[in-house]
Structure 1
Amino acid sequence: MIYQRLLNHGFYLFIILLSSILLSGNTVLAVSQTVNPNASTEVIDNGITPPVDPENPPTDVDPNRPSKQPKGSLRLDFVSNLDFGRVRIGNHKEINAKAQFFKQGTDPRGSYVQLTDVRSESTGWTLMMEQKNQFKTADGQELSGAVLSFDHAWANASHKTEEIMPQVTRETLSLVPGESAIVAQAEKNKGWGVWTVEFGASQNNKDGQKSTLYPLIDSNNQPLINPEWNQPDFGNRAISLSIPDKTTILPKEYNTEIIWTIAKLP
């Protein structure tokens, strides 16, 4: 349960939670099929791809939340929810999102999106995200001027090669509410199969990506425990929320919504 509380010494905390939804664009209804895009790798599709470890595909992981049932031979399988946790009012210039956690002992990762392309003819695709509106409280009070940014994006797949790699936007994506931003693109005959795009990485990643995860500590330098996962909490420098000093912040919960779109190229 998301809640707010008052610290003993009188400072309020506010909570920011980002909920992500999936929107698959221009897809084809899924059927069981065998796809062999480059005459060397076979992909069998049953219409559902469970979440995989973005740093060790194709290992399945359990993010411990209900999974939507995406349809289509080009589809979005999973998108991380973003949680910025409880933040003391006054310390709000820049806030990092928490890491993505899993059950079954998998270490925390950066937040990520997972997609599947098992079309018989891979024409390419574009992955986009859009912040639907500014962060707001339940009664409509906005977090004026707040900017949500994503950085250190990289793509991964168990079958990745330079010849089929999608192109990922490497510069920082600072979202403007109501405007779409391109996250990744795959040209014809590229980006087929199951891919993840992770923002940031753990220090144990095998791809030489810069580590962006860090342990969260309290005022006594003791590890904070994530109450949902009952394990040490981690932040992720790759995803941040910047709030202007002049912005009025209330001791309430703020939310926004990200729309993710996967669209096929002609």
Structure 2
Amino acid sequence: MKKMISKLVLAFGLAASAPAFAASAGVPLDAANINLRDTESLQRGAQTFVNYCLSCHGAAVMRYNRLQDIGLTEDQIKNNLMFASDKVGNTMKVAMAAQDGKQWFGATPPDLSLIARSRGADWLYSYLRGFYRDESRPTGWNNRVFDKVGMPHVLWELQGEQVAVYEKVKNHSTGKEEEVLTGLKLESPGLLTTKNAKGELDNKEYDDRVRDLVNYMVFMSEPVKVKNEQIGYLVLLFLLFVLIPISYLLKKEYWKDVH
């Protein structure tokens, strides 16, 4: 019995630590710090998704009318966000044909309905900020989070152009020095690039735009998450203030004659 319990504890421990091992094996991710209760952020993210992502990627399980859950009216959705469909009840289908995507990028761009659940908000946030110029790639772009990515940098006009920064690091197994990508440097400013107090190029506005986009993609992957949390709080309050007192009074009534 003790051996079985030890095995179960070990299994749960390995399962809990698996994400940490996965993160440490790759590139360190930046914290997205999203907020699903920030409806303005979700609305800006939906606008960015429709304008920049929906031309190549689809969201086959997300309907346009679900955007009413983030404070948009049906008229606002129809007038500002529906470019690939004419019915508000339709799903967010990709504007590009699948065969064209395969021919242009080597593979059909994936559906993004559940990408936030499979990759995570921090991964998406780091990925969308991690593109840099690489002339060895067919698209001219590479990504520090997803090496040799086939997707071009569709937001480059907003972010500008980044270049890779390499450092020579000694490989302990071979004893030779190798160039390792250690960071990215903004070389050409984009539409959202500003200058900080020191006069240096600053991409905070672009980072905020990406955070809004990731916020929306997380919402899209589970639109009822906030409502489910609210229901959970109500259930806990019901148990705490209604069911538990009633159970206690019933217990006292049942056992009063015994004592």
Q: TM-score range by the shorter chain?
A: under 0.3
Larger RCO (CA within 8 A; separation ≥ 6): 1
Query: TM-score, normalising length from structure 1?
Result: 0.21
Query: TM-score, normalising length from structure 2?
Result: 0.21
More strand by share: 1
More helix by share: 2
